[in-house]
Amino acid sequence: MKILIGLALLSALAFGPQRASAATNADVAQFVAAFNTGTATAIGAYVTGHVLPPPPGADAPDTAQSLEQLRNAIGTVKTVTVQELPRRIVATVRSQNSGWYRINFVRAPQAAPHRFARIMTDLGLPPKGSGQSTQQYLSDLSSAGYFSGVVLSATANGPPMISAVGLANRSTAAPNTADTLFNIGSIGKLFTTTAIYQLIEKGVLSKSDTIEKWLPHYPNVQARSATIDQLLSMSSGIGDFFNPRFFKGSPERIRTLQDYLPFFAADPLAFKPGTSQMYSNGGFLVLGLIIEKASGQDFYSYVQQHIFDPAGMTSTSYPVIDQVLPNRALGYTREWSDVVTYRTELRPATQGEPGRGSSAGGVFSTAGDLFKFSQALQNGSLVKGLYEWNAPGNFYAGGTPGWNAALDIEKGQTTIVLANLDPPAAENLVENLQP
């Protein structure tokens, strides 16, 4: 995870990009003008006028100070592309030192007097050139070190087209191929959501069921009133298990959902269930435990039998960390030295990995298998109505150090990008491949 300006969390659910309006382009131009001055006064004035201040007591970085640090590190920037999403504006810029960056302007609530809730930055990708083929674009990105992975693209009426570039294992020079397995991170939450909806469809669960109904001994008493619907919408108040206790322990020993509980289940809630919203890996871990209780199967067996097998996903699984998989890629991460610069050396992203993924993520899959799942999601063969649940667009992303995955389903076009590099390598590429 990277912290530049704000907390760069990968959302499990978002919507695909649209062409930017004149007003949006003007917003970005005003930001770039203030940023390029390099003065604390101009940058601070922009932030004061356009960005909501953090809530009292929040542990949030100083946006103006972070922007000033970034400007001092990379120099002036020039806007290359601007994309508009319902929840944010994404500007790809090229800096004076020829680096590519992505500026994310997260929209504030409509009632707010400021335009943006926060501004976040991360690494960007050079855009696809006019007339440049996708394969040449991917090859160029790979040669420059921007991307390593697999891209699948399919229309409603044709077979999927798959391109693979870069190395699955840099020590053995094994290349990425169409059959390479990648950690798809939080896209695994889609499998958990599918399982929950299957059990609701069968009448075993209800979205109004509480944690207490299925897990009466859950450690946090206040959390027991949270409903399945609140867990799905990340409004339960339950936090994250990726915390200092997790990384100081021995995460490689984690092999079951129960093994994750000591890292978060007894922690105080961030808010009363249903009163706010916060990204919650812990909440999806709890959903996995409810699936186990309601189905009478362990989570991994349930998903294999009721999702992977019916969808024909023969390569997808939750392997244990020491399991040998012939086509498994190795994730590679960069070590961030401060909030605005990074060392370019890549190292294997094995430190701090849990012994096995969970209902919150950590599945290994291929582009082909994810395409099969996307088809099953759209045709309702696994569960009815889940595809429409995220209307009007369907963009799913997952990431962790060394891995990034994105699945975009929109207007009859499916795009899947799997990368064995840090986020936002895959997300950036999906946005750059948009027509």
- The segments of the chain whose pLDDT lies below 50 read 1-17, 336-343, 391-392
**Is the CATH number of domain 3-123 3.10.450?**
yes
The pLDDT value recorded for residue 4 is 25
DSSP 252: G
Of 134, 107, 290, residue with least CA distance to 216:
290
Q: The pTM is what?
A: 0.83
Tens-digit pLDDT profile for residues 103-117: 988 888 766 667 888
Query: 190-300: which CATH topology?
Result: Beta-lactamase (3.40.710)
CATH number of 134-184+321-354+363-432: 3.40.710.10
What does the domain layout of the chain look like in residue ranges? 3-123, 134-184+321-354+363-432, 190-300
How many Cβ atoms from other residues are within 10 Å of residue 196's Cβ? 26
Q: Which residues make Cβ contacts (< 8 Å) with residue 70, sequence separation at least 6?
A: 4, 5, 121, 339, 340
Whether 3-123 and 134-184+321-354+363-432 share one fold: the answer is: no
Q: E strands of 136-214, at which residues? A: 149-155, 161-165, 167-169, 174-175, 182-183
The pLDDT value recorded for residue 7 is 23
332 touches 402 (CB < 8 A): yes
The pLDDT value recorded for residue 344 is 60
The pLDDT value recorded for residue 82 is 87
The pLDDT value recorded for residue 392 is 46
The pLDDT value recorded for residue 5 is 25
Residue 208: φ, ψ to 5°: -90, -5
Tens-digit pLDDT profile for residues 112-137: 667 888 888 877 888 888 888 999 99
287 touches 218 (CB < 8 A): no
What is the DSSP pairing of strand 364-365 with strand 182-183?
Answer: antiparallel
